[in-house]
Structure 1
Amino acid sequence: MHALTSNVRRLRYRILAMICAVACVFSLAACGSSEEGKIRIGIKFDQPGLGFKKSGTYVGFDVDVAKYIAKKLGYSEDEIIWKEAPSKQRETMLQNGDVDMILATYSITDSRKKAVSFAGPYFVAGQDLLVRKDEDSINGPEDLNGKRLCSVTGSTSAVVIKQKYSSEVQLMEQPGYAECATALFSGIVDAVTTDDIILAGLAAASRGKLRVVGKPFTVEDYGVGIKKGNTELAIKINNAITDMIQDGSWQRAISDNTQGTAYTPNAKYNPPTPDEGEE
């Protein structure tokens, strides 16, 4: 009887020990992946001058704006969790609560506002052209007839040019703008098209070998994507963007991330007035 009681006691201890071990494992896992007390911001990881992952750090205009906003919201830089936000996944990431906000050349459109809300705009871009430094025959989209134009697969930029400006342009698609820039530098294409500030980032990375034409022909309001209906957060972000513009940090961020390109934002629309998302 005594032996039986001892066996039962030992079995009970083993079960308790196993439960504690499992509890500890789950506790450690939860602690290790905890994002409590931090802000999660979605950016691009592959756009030089805007959102670019470089040796474990993140640089670019979108990154600088995000850091400024985060600081105004009470977060230090080491309390920011950067998450890659590919274009096709942005709405889903916000809807699922994977991120608190997204700054990733995210144009404010009526269709997107059905799924998410925006603050901003923090920048107004315009579609433009990137050419080789010594190219003097392309001064706008109307000069592209018979030329070879590169844009990214799925982008509407090249379609806009073909439909509205140069019906005889030869289109070439690449998976990313870095590949388009390489094709341009190599002479495979004559121009690259997308938003001007994206092109300025590519020009900066080329170290003077490429230049932006500087005649934007569309208007794209870059907003801070947030979860649908979060008006309170939109107001706070708008206040932060206004402060960034007023204290000169916005212009410094533009200059720092387009250095050596002679790029200047379209003065008709920039700096913008952030009024999106306020009711």
Structure 2
Amino acid sequence: MKLRKVTAVSAVVLALTVSATACSSKKNDSGSSGGGKTIAIGIKYDQPGLGQKTPQGYAGFDVDVATYVAKKLGYSSDQIEWKESKSADRETMLQRGDVDFIAATYSITPKRQAKVDFAGPYLLAHQDVLVRADDSSIKSPADLNNKKLCSVTGSTSAQNVHDKLAPKAQLQQYPTYSACLTGLQSKAIDALTTDDSILAGYAAQAQFKGKFKLGGFKMTNENYGIGVKKGSPLKDKINKALEEMVADGSWEAAVKKNFGPADYKNEPAPKIGDIKS
């Protein structure tokens, strides 16, 4: 009986040891750099030039920024677990701990800052319009009056233009940006509006090269930040990584790689904490 008791105790100790080892091999959630098996990063899956899931993998400016940051945190590219972060889900994903950080055209706003923290900004974008390359009739926001202006269903971009700049613009809602581009190409619509970075990403696709141009209107400021859970120590580490990305030229290289074909006139890399209203 004594031998059986000792054996039982040993089995319990062994089970606890195995359990602890298994737990330690999981993703590091403490906010410390490296040391974890993987790091979970939220991106968009459907935004060419920014965050897109392709048969060859993940591509875009946000992906390049996130990969650089992850490397500085101690993770190689094959240790990154990419997760789709739709706009409506981003705060919830961070609050639940589904991801360590999110880089997904995530504009810093007071409303969002009440729920999550932001590193950055790492890109200053603006609401703009995309028009056909041969269209010289739209030179300012006012020229959108009596024009068919497209944006995706649920977006407020076109409504903002209508309410503030071109009250006679004819608003058109399409299910996707790709559908708007098709309509723009066929002349069913006259212009597409959203963030200039998003427009540049679409226009830079091979099948659209040279067919569209950005208006350059800069109708709003969109400060893209990297979202983290409220109080996460990752914020300061990500900010440091972003500063290093700018300093070593990797940021500028990523801009040219992802937006260059659209002739995107990007703003200089913003300073950390400098949020333009």
Letter aligned with residue 99 of structure 1: V
For the residue of structure 1 that corresponds to 2:128, the secondary structure is strand
Q: How much does 1:276 deviate?
A: 7.4
What CA distance in whole angstroms lies between the structure 1 residues aligned with 2:174 and 2:117? Answer: 30
What CA distance in whole angstroms lies between the structure 1 residues aligned with 2:240 and 2:139? Answer: 38
- Bigger Cα Rg: 1
Aligned residue number for residue 258 of structure 1 = 259
Of 210, 213, 219, 2:212 maps to 210
Q: Is the 8 A contact 2:174 2:180 kept in 1?
A: yes
Q: Is the 8 A contact 1:129 1:140 kept in 2?
A: no
Aligned residue number for residue 150 of structure 2 = 150
Cα distance change on mapping 1:170 and 1:220 into 2, 3 Å:
same
Q: Is the 8 A contact 2:26 2:38 kept in 1?
A: no
Letter aligned with residue 227 of structure 1: K
What CA distance in whole angstroms lies between the structure 2 residues aligned with 1:86 and 1:163? Answer: 26
Q: Is the 8 A contact 1:199 1:212 kept in 2?
A: yes
TM-score w.r.t. length of structure 1: 0.84
Aligned: 1:116 with 2:116? yes
What CA distance in whole angstroms lies between the structure 2 residues aligned with 1:37 and 1:138? Answer: 52
Aligned residue number for residue 224 of structure 2 = 222
Q: How does 1:36-51 map to 2 (within 5 A)?
A: 37-51=37-51
Of all paired residues, the percent bearing the same amino acid is: 54
Q: How much does 1:56 deviate?
A: 4.5
Aligned residue number for residue 275 of structure 1 = 273
Q: Which runs of 5+ in 1 are unaligned?
A: 1-22
Aligned: 1:237 with 2:238? yes
What CA distance in whole angstroms lies between the structure 1 residues aligned with 2:179 and 2:78? Answer: 32
Deviations 1:106-138 (A, max 9, x none): 000000111111110000100011011101111
Q: How much does 1:92 deviate?
A: 0.7
In the TM superposition, structure 1's runs of 4+ consecutive aligned residues that sit over 3 Å from their partners are 33-36
What CA distance in whole angstroms lies between the structure 1 residues aligned with 2:40 and 2:274? Answer: 21
Cα distance change on mapping 1:276 and 1:118 into 2, 3 Å:
farther
For the residue of structure 2 that corresponds to 1:273, the secondary structure is coil
Letter aligned with residue 125 of structure 2: A
What CA distance in whole angstroms lies between the structure 2 residues aligned with 1:185 and 1:192? Answer: 11
Aligned residue number for residue 176 of structure 1 = 176
Number of aligned residue pairs: give it. Answer: 245
Q: Is the 8 A contact 2:153 2:176 kept in 1?
A: yes
